Chain A
């Protein structure tokens, strides 16, 4: 969850994108070698003597996780009414508007799909893909193949509008590549496990791991259902849970609904309890109970407690992740405990010091802790400034008021026996004050 890299601004991202686009197309010899998939479909397959045998129906590639670009393994050729398999070894000329065979004869074999192979025209072009470099969902308007080092490979995906127009036009223009917006295939994650064996190339998989949770959340929101589930399954469970925390509530609800109960429960239990509770709150009571029942006991209790508070109250927006200490412990011991909780560092503003009855004695800030002698005990640090506390049913305006009048950055939520329940950071309050970002989905306009 912690990510120290600065988030690049829009203009930086744009510049990076333009640069990336050029990287491929400025290579003149690659450009002249590019074969447009859309232009190749329907073109004649000729034998050595120049006689036409059939038409190109589709191009098949194999996802090979060791290579940057998937190699073409063969073509599907329409001969009469039959679809026949043509291995790439039998192809002499891989042209823009024709396929020339090495031999005069072609023995027609039936198309048999092998694992890891994908038909480009049926499964990839016009479908959703993820560009991990630009962190966005795209729809391929064309795919480009090129012969690199003697092997025909899938090298790029075109997302430009010009390519769509070209495909609309007469066949004559269709095979002329218009690479105005081409993305290097090495940074593409594709889907297709439902429609056939799909996969991710190693380079793209690394790209996927590099994405920030917020970027992943945007991708998950933009994808269609099967693609979304596919992408989720390619992430590590923790990565997926972090991304879910960043999603808008209604998007999260949709994802929880469409996932199977076990998978959804697993993701929920890995999320921060307050974020998980926000997602569950919007589900029907029945769906809520089903998911809670499937969660491990510890996570379930944390989430269920949060759910019992109203959404717009101190209990509803607090985080329950607290690092606690007793007065007798040394600063060294506390530091070790903090280290073990690195993953929650955004939610930790201080150390809660507990008395014998579990009541709140003090909230020691990180600065106090940092400046303290390592051998000292927590007891030495107890003293003013005293923590600002609210009860879980306090309204948001009360929390905001307390923050303003004390100039504190957080408040501690305590129950009636002064036992700490959670913490509210100023930014949690800020989240509730700022309206949701307007993101148009037309079904929601009326509901």
Chain B
């Protein structure tokens, strides 16, 4: 008798026949099965879902309230662009195994890298502002003043993340935010004008007004958020998805992007059917009416709960992801378990964003308007970062044979250029009107 590795262990066949042993899969605890389901969902769909945050809800609801079904065709175009962009990012993640932050640092000169990261910080601070505005709007529906809710939320989220017990709060927020899956049901129950909605969806058109253009840029900003591009590349790399697994991941990314935009379209339709006066949204209470077909007189509360969950979730994740991307590019320590002395850049960036975001959201004004404006800011910055993604995905020195082909290059370039032209137009208009010219 020697070392018992083989001696005392019955061969697997015998083990399987034993009455007390059941196969592992049948005994997997529930938690693991849910995790496996989430794993099956894949990074693409999770990333795209992150787009339906507070700013997203506010922007889609605004679109429905102000223009009825007329933004639906724009949403179709946005979906195409989103699919193209997310696919490129997932491909970069799968083929290089690196996040966009690291990839940009390695591939571009230091100044060009700094510009990209600066753009990311500005866009994400805008997002953080909108998340705190979302928290405030949700709490105002529940009759809590924003001058109480925002400071409490900012301190709470900061402390939870830095002192490391955020995990449980995060799950709660995630569950709360699932409320928004009530929108498709609400859209059907509200008996929308199917003929008109269908026509607006298929018929290529635009309205040549300033308000419409602004809203389209907000729609772009909230759907094709720079944050999501960084997320999907990092998530794909992080799961060890390589070139061999990429076809499956590609499907996940495309399906995920389409699925989430279908939800967005339902939010627009539900709000358009619920609100009959075509004017900009004035309050969150108004937006909540879209859920009335589902929740009846509790629509306001239901909307508030969902908005709170989505906003609080993103209010921690967005600043963390910015800090992660910047630290990754700078090669600095990035971990929430480190002290300020060990990871000054990471924790400093996180803290700065949370408190700047909260402070801006405290400025008196219309919260829904602030939410939409933050998405316009994101829309203005999106084309900058998309250009980086496009250049990276075009480079054969990074992706080899998986670099963009000629046809894809054309489609991707047109997508990015269209977004850029729209953003530039809005930027130009805003500057001109700011100067009192137009």
Contact = CB atoms under 8 A, between A and B. Distances in A.
Whether chain B is bound by chain A comes out as yes
Interface of A: 38, 126-128, 137-141, 159, 161, 164, 167-168, 224-226, 228, 253-258, 273, 281, 285, 298, 301-302, 304-305, 307-313, 320-326, 337, 340-341, 352, 354, 358, 391-393, 415-416, 419-421, 437-447
Given A161-B330, A320-B9, 20 more contacts: A128-B331, A138-B331, A139-B331, A164-B110, A224-B237, A225-B96, A257-B240, A308-B12, A308-B23, A310-B28, A322-B3, A337-B3, A354-B1, A392-B21, A393-B20, A416-B20, A420-B8, A446-B231, A446-B317, A447-B39
A352 B4 contact: yes
Interface string B330-342: 1110111100000
Contacts of B3: 321-324, 337, 340-341
A294 to B, nearest CB: 15
A421 B5 CA distance: 9
20 contacts: A127-B106, A257-B242, A258-B97, A301-B9, A305-B12, A305-B15, A308-B24, A313-B27, A320-B4, A320-B5, A322-B3, A322-B5, A324-B3, A352-B8, A439-B337, A440-B346, A441-B324, A442-B321, A447-B46, A447-B235
B18 interface: yes
A257 B4 contact: no
B21 A224 contact: no
Which of B15, B324, B325 is packed against the most chain A CB atoms within 10 Å?
B15
B16 interface: yes
B317 to A, nearest CB: 5
Closest 9 interchain pairs by CB?
Answer: A225-B97, A139-B331, A257-B240, A443-B235, A254-B240, A322-B4, A442-B321, A310-B27, A324-B4
Given A305-B15, A308-B24, A324-B3, A226 B97 contact: yes
Nearest to A446: B46
Interface string B235-252: 101111110010000000
Nearest to B97: A225
B255 interface: no
B7 interface: yes
B50 interface: yes
B330 A139 contact: yes
B1 A301 contact: no
Given A419-B8, A444-B238, A141 B98 contact: no
| Interface residue SS majority, chain A | mixed
A358 B21 CA distance: 19
Nearest to B241: A257
B24 A309 contact: yes
A420 B220 CA distance: 63
A296 to B, nearest CB: 12
Contacts of A285: 25
B406 interface: no
> Could you tell me the dominant secondary structure of chain B's interface residues?
helix
B6 A324 contact: no
B102 interface: yes
A156 B2 CA distance: 52
A111 to B, nearest CB: 16
Interface in B82-103: 96-98, 102
Interface of B: 1-12, 15-16, 18, 20-21, 23-25, 27-29, 32, 38-39, 43, 46, 50, 96-98, 102, 105-106, 110-111, 114, 164, 167, 170, 174, 231, 234-235, 237-242, 245, 316-317, 320-321, 324-325, 330-332, 334-337, 345-346
B331 A159 contact: yes
Given A126-B105, A420-B4, A311 B21 contact: no
Contacts of B110: 38, 126, 164, 167-168
A159 B330 CA distance: 9
Contact of A310 (B29, B320, B337, B346): B29
B344 to A, nearest CB: 9
B182 to A, nearest CB: 20
Nearest to B238: A443
A131 B23 CA distance: 44
Contacts of A141: 331
A321 B331 contact: no
A438 B337 CA distance: 6
A298 B24 contact: no
Give the interface centre of A254, A298, A325, A341 by most chain B CB atoms within 10 Å: A254
A420 B4 CA distance: 9
Contact of B240 (A137, A255, A273, A393): A255
Contacts of A391: 20
A254 B236 CA distance: 10
A164 B330 contact: yes
Contacts of A281: 24
A174 B239 CA distance: 39
B114 A168 contact: yes
Contacts of B345: 161
Name which of A168, A224, A419, A445 has the most chain B CB atoms within 10 A of its CB.
Answer: A445
B234 A447 contact: no
A285 B24 CA distance: 11
Contacts of A225: 96-98, 237, 242
B202 to A, nearest CB: 33
A305 B170 contact: no
B320 A442 contact: yes
B400 to A, nearest CB: 11
A354 B8 CA distance: 9
Contacts of B235: 443, 447
Contacts of B114: 168
Contacts of B164: 438
A139 B241 CA distance: 24
